[in-house]
Amino acid sequence: MSDRHIISILLENEAGALSRVAGLFSARGYNIQSLTVAPTEDETLSRMTIVTSGSERVIEQITKQLNKLVDVVRLVDLTEGPHIEREMMLIKVRAEGSLRDEVKRLVDIFRGRVIDVTDAFYTIEVTGTGTKLDAYLETLPTGSIMETVRSGVSGIARGEKGLQV
């Protein structure tokens, strides 16, 4: 069984820390569906979110191997508890003639926003879970998508629990 897991990491904000994590995944043949990283309010720390999949044994190894990296300060597998996941997507879609209204209607249904407009194109911002973004893409008329940019997943645990030093 290969399950999807969201692993959230507090990482030392050091040069090379990102490549240690990325190198670990490629060297050991673990898969990465998405990886995001950015500094936090504490400038010595970065927050990284990795979406990966694998059997229970593989996920256990991934978390153990990540914990072994000296730059990894804290780590949690968000999928083990209640959590919120969000991903942002920017899409440039052909929106001419009759398509124009149709595309706008779909944006509203998915609670997205049109953030840039030309005669022929809308640029749209949609936020949600990965599945929601996939679903949105499915609804768009075939051939209408010019470009998509996805941020990769970030996640946080629900409630009062937090990942802290």
Partner 1 sequence: MELTGADIFVRCLAEEGVEYLFGYPGGAALHLYDALYTQDKVQHILVRHEQGATHAADGYARSTGRPGVVLVTSGPGATNTVTGIATAHMDSIPLVVFTAQVASALIGDDAFQEVDSVGITRPCVKHNFLVRDVRDLAVTIKKAFYIATTGRPGPVVVDIPKDITAHKTEYFYPETAVIRSYSPVKKGHQTQIKKGVELLLSAKRPMIYTGGGIVLGEASASLTAFVRELGYPITNTLMGLGSYPATDSLFLGMLGMHGTYEANMAMHECDVLLAVGARFDDRITGDLAQFCPHARIVHVDVDPSSIGKTVPVEVPIVGDADTVLQDMMKRVKASDTKPDSHALKSWWQQIEQWRGLKCLTYQKSDELIKPQYVLEHLYELTGGDAYVTSDVGQHQMWTAQYYKFEQPRRWINSGGLGTMGFGLPAAMGVQFAHPNDTVVCVTGEASIQMCIQELSTCKQYALPIKVVNLNNRYMGMVRQWQEFFYEKRYSHSYMEALPDFTLLAESYGHVGFKITKPSDVEGVLKEALGMKDRLVFMDFITDQKENVYPMVGAGKGHHEMHLAPCNAVVPTDRELA
Per-residue tokens: 30: 């673990």
Per-residue tokens: 56: 């229970």
Which residues, 47 to 86, sit near partner 1 by CB under 8 A? Answer: 57, 60-61, 64-65, 67-68, 70-73
Q: Which runs of consecutive H residues, i.e. helices, occur in the chain?
A: 17-27, 56-68, 99-109, 130-139
Number of residues in contact with partner 1 under rule CB under 8 A: 19
CB nearer to partner 1: pick between 70 and 119: 70
CB nearer to partner 1: pick between 50 and 72: 72
What would the x/- binding string for partner 1 be over residues 8 to 27, using CB under 8 A?
A: ----x--xx--xx--x---x
Q: Which long-range contacts (CB under 8 A, 24 or more apart) does 131-136 make?
A: 133/87, 133/89, 135/110, 136/89, 136/106, 136/110, 136/112
Could you list the residues that contact partner 1 (CB under 8 A)? 12, 15-16, 19-20, 23, 27, 57, 60-61, 64-65, 67-68, 70-73, 165
